[in-house]
Amino acid sequence: MTTTTDTLNTLELLKKEAAKILNIESVDTHVGLGELGIDSLNVVELIVYCEQLYGSIDPEQLNITQYTTLEQIDSQLQQQQVA
């Protein structure tokens, strides 16, 4: 069972990875990927990282647009882990 602590940890790690991909200090998890500056190639990098972070994921099941936030990605992946 996923706890709130686990969720916070994965979101924090996802936030750090997104900042690393963009080569900036920090990103806001409430802002859409497009506004952060994440493009389609960056999304691929992020998904590869998510596979390492969350374990077995199904990228086809993710709903990612330019407006999707890191919080929403984390939530979708947490739900995949429960299913």
Domain ranges in the chain? 4-82
pLDDT band at 39, cuts 50/70/90?
Answer: very high
Distance CA 79, CA 23 (A): 29
Q: Is the overall model pTM greater than 0.85, yes or no? A: yes
**Amino acid identity for residue 50 in this structure:** C
Written out in words, the top-level CATH class of the domain with range 4-82 is mainly alpha
pLDDT tens for each residue of 46-80: 999 999 999 889 989 999 999 999 999 999 999 98
